[in-house]
Amino acid sequence: MTQPENTSALKGIKVIDASRVLGGPYAGQILADHGADVIKVEPPAGDETRLWGPPFQDDAASYFLGLNRNKRGIAIDFSKTAGRELLLSLLEDADIFLENFKIGTLEKWGIGQDEIAERFPKLIHCRVSGFGADGPYGKLPGYDAALQATTGIMSVNGDVGGRELRVGLPVVDMVTGLNATIGVLLALNERARSGKGQFVEATLYDCGFSLLHPHLPNFYLNGKVPGRSGNAHPNISPYDTYQTATRPLFLAVGNNRQFTKLCDMLDCPDLPKDPLFESNAQRVINRDALKELLEQALSNFECAGIADKLINNGVPCGAVRNVQEVVEDPHTIHREMVVDVDGHRGTGSPIKLSRTPVSYRRRPPQFAEHTDEIMQELGKDAEDFSEVLPQKK
């Protein structure tokens, strides 16, 4: 396969991605999709997400495949001195070092944050961790679901009166990856002025906590501990799922104009004039009564038809759909959100740049796939490091 041309924004930037699981690799893939040369460095046993299946393709789980596109792969045993020497060689001409080692591990090896900063003054060292290096929870390990619980996300997710629920996707890990990427790009921008690298930190705890909007601002103002509200919004109404004649419809009505338009189109034009519903504040207070009336009106409509009519007339809404329906939607295809690279199907980048667009150049690497290529670039013979270079599986 001829590799597509790299014309993306980060062409020329080199990233050593020694992170595993989700947050770090997700950040690495964003950088890779936008042109950076990202070398994925795995431990001898491989990134554990290679085993997080089924489904599998070429002995790698879909979980791994979804986070490691556009990267080259090598595996190094850092527990040995020769392996750590190779890491330092990789960092010699790197711009970014992305890692999520257990805090204290690099220090134990003699290549901690301070040593790296002194040896590579232009390097941007980005660490993803559960809680950071200090504080009451410092150095503790973290996984997405546990952090959803610890940061309060589960406490506001679920039906009224029901059990706390994990959000059905790794939202803490993913937003940590996004914030790590933002931090790296901020540091790159600053380096262009100062010529100096810096340490960038993104923790699951901080990022999970930061997601609690509007629950935190509400709590700061009224002191009330928020609870679960199902699909309803604590500050806006109607903002919830509503049953139609066929399937649920989500209405996201944020102002009086949209509410009036909604009621006109549902043949209940008098609702906005009712003192119980004349303002958003009143609609929030009387949300249960409003939901009952709206569902009575919606029972006369098929979901897809009324959803199309409403959104095309300025009322934000959406039919509740499954993953297959979204993947097959013509708009998903038009937005290039499903992409195929050398037999691998993946999710496209949501970041669209007009002049330096994303480029999909490589499928996710097989284990240690590019060892010889990378070692040759370092000017080293792979055979001389056979004890720390696990071979392709």
In DSSP notation, 332-354 reads HHHTT-EEEETTEEEEPPS---S
Structure confidence at residue 1 (pLDDT):
52
**What local confidence, expressed as pLDDT, does residue 5 receive?**
84
- Comparing CA positions, the residue from 290, 301, 305 lying closest to residue 253 is 290
With contact defined as beta carbons under 8 Å apart, do 154 and 209 qualify?
no
Q: 14-211+336-385 and 239-327 share one CATH topology?
A: no
| Active-site annotation holds for 173 | yes
CATH number of 14-211+336-385: 3.40.50.10540
Q: Which CATH architecture has domain 239-327?
A: 2-Layer Sandwich (3.30)
**Can you tell me the distance from the alpha carbon of 370 to that of 376, in angstroms, rounded to the nearest whole number?**
10
Which H/E stretch holds residue 207? helix 204-210
Catalytic residue, from 173, 240, 329, 340: name it.
173
* Domain ranges within the chain, ordered by starting residue: 14-211+336-385, 239-327
Per-residue pLDDT at 4: 79
Q: Tell me the CA distances in angstroms from 118 to 196, 197, 199, 389, one per residue in order.
A: 11, 10, 12, 27
DSSP code of residue 170: -
Those residues of the chain that have pLDDT short of 50 are none
Spatial CA neighbour of 30 closest among 60, 65, 71: 71
What's the confidence (pLDDT) of residue 246?
A: 97
pLDDT at site 104: 93
Q: What is the pLDDT of residue 393?
A: 66
How high is the pLDDT of residue 392?
Answer: 74
Whole-angstrom distance, CA of residue 210 vs CA of residue 108: 31
Say what the pLDDT of residue 2 is. Answer: 65
Which residues are bridge partners to 17 per DSSP? 40, 98
Task: Tell me the Cα Rg of the chain.
Answer: 25
pTM to 2 decimals? 0.94
